[in-house]
Structure 1
Amino acid sequence: MVGYKLRMRDELEHRYGELRKQSLKMANQALRIPDTKLTLVDNTSYAAFARWQSHPARLVDWDWPTSWHSWKTNYPKRFECATWKGERLIGFAMGRPTYHATGLRLDYIEKSPEASEPHLDLTYLALYAYATLLGATHVKIMNPINKNVRDYYEQKGFKYDLRSNSCIRKIV
């Protein structure tokens, strides 16, 4: 039974891994900012993250490398994205489809405290592409860390939902 579950998880990882790659390719084709790209999260991302992990202006203290290992193991349908400007990491994002697969939730997003690039806008290109490939009708950003961040998401076209403590945007 364990082998069957492992094989099924590996099949899901492969199938959704291809969709993640396709969504990043679509997002990169839509980018209009020179020397900027979206990639899957990998060891290069973690090495770049180490440069701003202990930055005093950092707003959150997520341990991306440790969290990522658990996330990758538990969510084969996950969304993942590392955003780059040249060789400089702008930020990370990870999420997963909603339980009924009608939406795609963004559970974690973090921008380097030294980055001035529009990380949410760049990440949204990949998030939107992945959600579209999944057939989702909306995307939602879970648990905005404070009112200023929530207001920023609302300025970007999201609507705040108090019940789920998330900002939701329909896919049109």
Structure 2
Amino acid sequence: MQRPVVRSAHAKRLTLARALAVAKSGLGANVRCEIIAGAARSAFTETWLGHQGRPVDWDWAALSARFQNNHPKCFNAAIWHDETLCGLAIGAVNRDRFVAVDFLEGNPDPTHPLKGR
């Protein structure tokens, strides 16, 4: 029996929340993961954009919109430690039902709370 394909936004959020709960199990209660939305976009613009420590120059708003439009089984995630945006990720579930992370970027500040984790 095959699993149903996750398509609704609510189902995507639940699936992502379950996966991230496992992933963050050793990181502490201050870590949370959300869909890339207004707060993450604002934090990105205010603290990451133009930062000299960024090795890439990705436009996360455009990437997120492009994936939402082109990949029905995509996800995006903003990883926070308290009020610090520590990471952004975009990916999708492929035909074999494996999660592929297509874009991943950490906060360019070398002292952010999740650096190296």
TM-score normalised by L of structure 2? 0.77
Which of 72, 80, 83 is residue 84 of structure 1 equivalent to?
Answer: 80
Distance 1:34 1:94 in 2: 23
- The equivalent position to 1:95 in structure 2, one of 84, 91, 94, is 91
1:45 aligns to 2:40 (yes or no): yes
Distance 1:90 1:32, change over 3 A: closer
Q: Cα offset for 1:118?
A: 4.8
Distance 1:28 1:102 in 2: 19
Aligned residue number for residue 114 of structure 2: 117
Using CA pairs under 8 Å that are at least 6 residues apart, name the structure with larger relative contact order, 1 or 2. 2
Residue 59 of structure 2 is aligned with which of 58, 63, 68?
63
Q: Which residue of 2 aligns with 1:165?
A: none
Distance 1:96 1:22, change over 3 A: closer
1:33 equivalent among 3, 28, 32? 28
Equivalent residue for 1:20?
13
Give unmatched runs, 5+ long, in structure 1.
Answer: 1-10, 122-172
Please provide the CA RMSD for this pair.
2.4
Number of paired residues? 108
More helix as a share of residues:
1
Q: Which has the larger radius of gyration?
A: 1
TM-score, normalising length: structure 1: 0.54
Taking the aligned partners of 2:73 and 2:103, their CA distance within structure 1 comes to 15
Give the 3-state SS of the residue equivalent to 2:48 in structure 1.
coil
Q: Which amino acid aligns with 1:117?
A: L
